[in-house]
Structure 1
Amino acid sequence: MSVGSYLKKHTEALVKDVGIEPACALTGKSKATLGRYYSDNPEHADRFMPVDAVIALEEAASYPHVTGALAELQGISLSHDDRRPNTERSGGVNSDVIALSQRFAMLMTEYQQSIEDGVITVNEAKRLLKETTLLQQVLIDMKLHLEDESG
């Protein structure tokens, strides 16, 4: 399967995940235009969904289909953050520093409990991985806040 065909399949999955009517409303594109983005018809082979439309749809979708496909094509693994809070956290970097220290403390507590007997079991490793991922998410939030504050 070619890269273009692979991306078109994931674009179609994204549009279907959101629904065609909501996808039209979110992107400002017509059904026909959206259809061209994932059509395997040779005349549409060079048409792909713009990045801003992908972002709008992936925000509403259950999974970042196109972003995931792009990552796979580059040999990159993603960690899907399904927290999706209703409102943005206020406080910026200061609250991120507090959240970071709390998350790190949770990771260290989990590590201490896991290593007490000298062996980290599969379940303990899964809990450590979860804590590590949550710590990573706090760092990403902090990075975004720092970028916002630096202009």
Structure 2
Amino acid sequence: MASVGSYLKKHTEALVKDVGIEAACDLTGKSKATLGRYYSDHDEHSDRFMPVDAVAALEEASSYPHVTSALAELKGISLSFDERRRNQEKSGGVSTDVIALSQRFAMLMAEYHQSIEDGVITINEAKRLLKETLALQQVLIDMKLHLEDEAG
């Protein structure tokens, strides 16, 4: 449990730093000291974790759901993070999706070609490949939804 706690504390710290300490205080109603205790690795704070409502408030304001993704990883679950805004209108249809699919696949292949050029895929290259793969996956999900709409 100690390693799990340490893992969650690191992601809690990343979440607070993503939002900013002052903004995190405002969003959660907690002091800087209290927030610091939630991610402190000192023995006296080992059993203190951020409440789930505070995590939810911070993740709404953050660029990435740090704690949620950490919890998912601990359970062996992978999340698909869609950086687009939820309220964004999805225009076009299957034809638009096919074009986007071919463009994304071309970008993935270009990234792969560049990454494998020296025979080694570095961590940063792997991250870029993963980002392109996730973007390609999102286009496929959009296409699936459009096909389901058309099928009625």
Q: Which residue of 1 aligns with 2:60?
A: 59
CA displacement, residues 32-54 of structure 1 (integer Å, 9 cap, x when unaligned):
11111101111111111111111
Please list, as runs of the form range in 1=range in 2, the aligned pairs for 1:24-103 lying within 5 A after superposition: 24-84=25-85, 88=87
**Contact 2:97–2:142 at 8 Å: present in 1 too?**
no
- The answer to whether residue 31 in structure 2 is matched with residue 7 in structure 1 is no
Aligned-pair Cα RMSD in Å: 3.3
1:49–1:103 distance in 2 versus 1, CA, 3 Å: farther
Give the TM-score normalised by structure 2.
0.63
Deviation of the 1:24 alpha carbon: 0.4
Q: Secondary structure at the match of 1:78?
A: coil
**Contact 1:106–1:131 at 8 Å: present in 2 too?**
no
Aligned length: 121
Percent identity, please: 61
Give the TM-score normalised by structure 1.
0.63
**Contact 1:26–1:56 at 8 Å: present in 2 too?**
yes
Unmatched segments (≥5 aa) in structure 2: 110-131, 147-152
Deviation of the 1:103 alpha carbon: 5.3
Deviation of the 1:83 alpha carbon: 1.5
- The whole-number CA distance in structure 2 between the counterparts of 1:39 and 1:46 is 10
- The whole-number CA distance in structure 1 between the counterparts of 2:25 and 2:137 is 38
Q: Which residue of 1 aligns with 2:137?
A: 129
**Contact 1:107–1:131 at 8 Å: present in 2 too?**
yes
**Contact 1:18–1:57 at 8 Å: present in 2 too?**
yes
- The whole-number CA distance in structure 1 between the counterparts of 2:78 and 2:28 is 27
1:134–1:53 distance in 2 versus 1, CA, 3 Å: farther
- The whole-number CA distance in structure 1 between the counterparts of 2:20 and 2:74 is 25
Deviation of the 1:132 alpha carbon: 1.9
Unmatched segments (≥5 aa) in structure 1: 90-94, 115-119, 140-151
**Contact 2:82–2:138 at 8 Å: present in 1 too?**
no
1:105–1:14 distance in 2 versus 1, CA, 3 Å: same
Deviation of the 1:133 alpha carbon: 3.7
Q: Secondary structure at the match of 1:49?
A: coil
